[in-house]
Structure 1
């Protein structure tokens, strides 16, 4: 899962980033309104943590722009301003939640998981497709009730494919969603092919009724067998 932290307080930004990375989220950060708008316009995120007070603009105005360009990213407003007007404005504009500083990191984790469950899992704790069941909060995958052994990147790849079942996902989209800002350091998407190849082997090994199809020259699509 990919999260964008929009926060100009460097120490808080670092603390949140390190905490969420321990939870296996892919993290990107923005310190300003301008940088945040560029990232949101260019990339997809599962969740955006949005501070209201930014050095070059207001987070509420940024939220308006997010909605105007019809992005579906979940947004949690994180602000030191405990203002009813800001809360109402943010929620009316389409924010999924509002968290007032200071807060415990455990509460932030719970809020993120909650909005992601609502967005991707219809409020459930797991996602089921045929004989496979994926538990995002526990980083666990069961096939016919048996746990499937996999590393963090394989789990992230499978989760991204499952959430986007039957949708064509380009290699660029897969790489950017799972590796985030580190994509700036690579010259090709060959590593995506390697990860998909390894995941296919494991799905076959555990007899999952799913198939990762290659769409020549474009990317991959997760389907149930026979589709």
Structure 2
């Protein structure tokens, strides 16, 4: 799962990034309005942590831009401004939650999990496709009743496919979601093929009912 922090307090960014990476999230950072907008335009995120006051603009303006782009990633406003007016404005513009500074990292994590589960998992604790069941908060995967052992990248790839079953996913989208925003700058994306090959082999060993269908020159779909 991929999170973008748009926050100008560098120390706070580093603390949140380190904490979320410890929870196995992919984390990107933007420290001002312009960089935040560029990332929102060019990349997709499961959740955006958005400060209101930013150099060059405001978080409310970025939130407006995000929704105008038609992107439905979850947004949590994190701000020292704790007025009712700010909360109402943020929620009316399309934010999913509002967390006033200072906050406990455990509370932030709980809110991220809640809104991602609500949006991507329809409120369910587990995601299921055919005979595979994935538990995002535990990072556990079952093939029927047997637990499938995956490394971090294999799990992240499977999760990305599981919330988009039978949909064609481009190699660029997979690279950005699992390896980070800069992955699309790689000379080639052969590393994706290697990871999918390993994931397919493990699923086959468990006689799973799913497979990954390659669409030449474009990407893959889970069928």
Shared fold, TM over 0.5: yes
For 2:15, the equivalent position in structure 1 comes to: 15
Render the CA deviation track for 1:100-158: whole Å, top value 9, x for unaligned: 10000000000000010001111011101121100010010011111101100000000
Instruction: Please name the residue that 2:211 is paired with.
Output: 211
For the aligned residue pairs, the C-alpha RMSD in angstroms reads 1.0
CA deviation profile, 1:182-220 (whole Å, cap 9, x unmatched): 426732101000000000001111111111100111100
Distance 1:140 1:184 in 2: 28
- SS of the equivalent of 1:187 reads coil
Q: Residue 191 of structure 1 aligns with which residue?
A: 191
- 8 Å contact kept, 2:47–2:116: yes
**How many Å separate the matches in 1 of 2:189 and 2:69?**
28
Q: Is the 8 A contact 2:6 2:29 kept in 1?
A: yes
1:130-149 to 2 correspondence within 5 Å?
130-149=130-149
Secondary structure of the residue aligned to 2:199 is helix
1-structure distance, mates of 2:194, 2:105? 35
* Residue 201 of structure 1: aligned partner: 201
What is the TM-score normalised by the length of structure 1?
A: 0.96
In 1, the alpha carbon distance for the partners of 2:167 and 2:95 equals: 26
Structure 2 segments unaligned to the other structure (5+ residues): none
Structure 1 residue runs without a partner (length 5+): none
User: How many residue pairs get matched?
Assistant: 223
